[in-house]
Amino acid sequence: MHSHILPGIDDGCASLQESIESIRRLKDHGYVGTICTPHCWPNNFPHITPEHIAVWRDALADEIDKAGLDYLLWTGGELRIYPGAIQWMQAHGVPTLADSSYVLCDFWEPKWQPWIDDTFDWLMSEGYKPILAHPERSPTHDDYDTHLDRIVEQGVLLQGNLRCFTGEEGYRADQGVRQYMQEGRYTLLALDMHRPEALQGRLDGIAIASEEFGADRVNAMIDDEVRRLIFES
């Protein structure tokens, strides 16, 4: 449900070959499909819009068919929350996950800013359901968990990154992902895959999380909850 698998458009797969290699490895691990969530952030990637994502998704799907692979792709996006995010969505559309009402979001701020709440409030007032990606990796320090509790109570879901269980994302993320799992804050877990050379660590995170918190619980957060929320709602 969280991947940068579309080739050559953001900091994810750099080429079609990398995308196909990643898909082969995901299939080997039991995955049957991926929601494409490139960064929707005009400061760094002004060319990435929901309209273009749909075109790129179709192009990669054609290449998957040519390669003889049975693998599904859906459109999506990882919306960067910044002061102009609402205006950007009003101009370009909302990058929902697999044509659902769910919107994957992230932000990188040292302090919690009022426009973070404004963006979540706007999305929910328009009938969308925000998912905050990898809160355990956030650099926000000022009473951060209190803010998370508040937005979750308002309806925002939290998605943890599986790679954080391996320690590869640093001490704060390593400790934070376990704390939030123990506290039951997450609804979803995801790979947040980028390039094939980093994919193994993300897949290793599944095994580590399963050993520490139970395979049934982890599988539900990777698979069952994604199907229930995004594809069946």
3-state secondary structure of 194: coil
pLDDT of residue 233: 74
**Domain segments of the chain as ranges:** 16-231
- Which string of b and e fits 81-114 if b means at least 16 CB within 10 Å? bbeebbebbeebebbbbbebbbbbbbbeeeebee
Q: Is the separation of the CB atoms in 201 and 163 below 8 Å?
A: yes
pLDDT of residue 142: 83
Q: Is the separation of the CB atoms in 7 and 15 below 8 Å?
A: yes
Q: Is the separation of the CB atoms in 230 and 97 below 8 Å?
A: yes
pLDDT of residue 193: 96
Q: Which residues of the chain have pLDDT under 50?
A: none
pLDDT of residue 7: 98
pLDDT of residue 141: 85
Whether the model clears a pTM of 0.95, i.e. scores above it, the answer is yes
71 to 23, 63, 116, 123: CA distances (angstroms): 8, 11, 35, 31
- 44 CB contacts (<8 Å, ≥6 apart)? 10
CATH class of 16-231: alpha beta
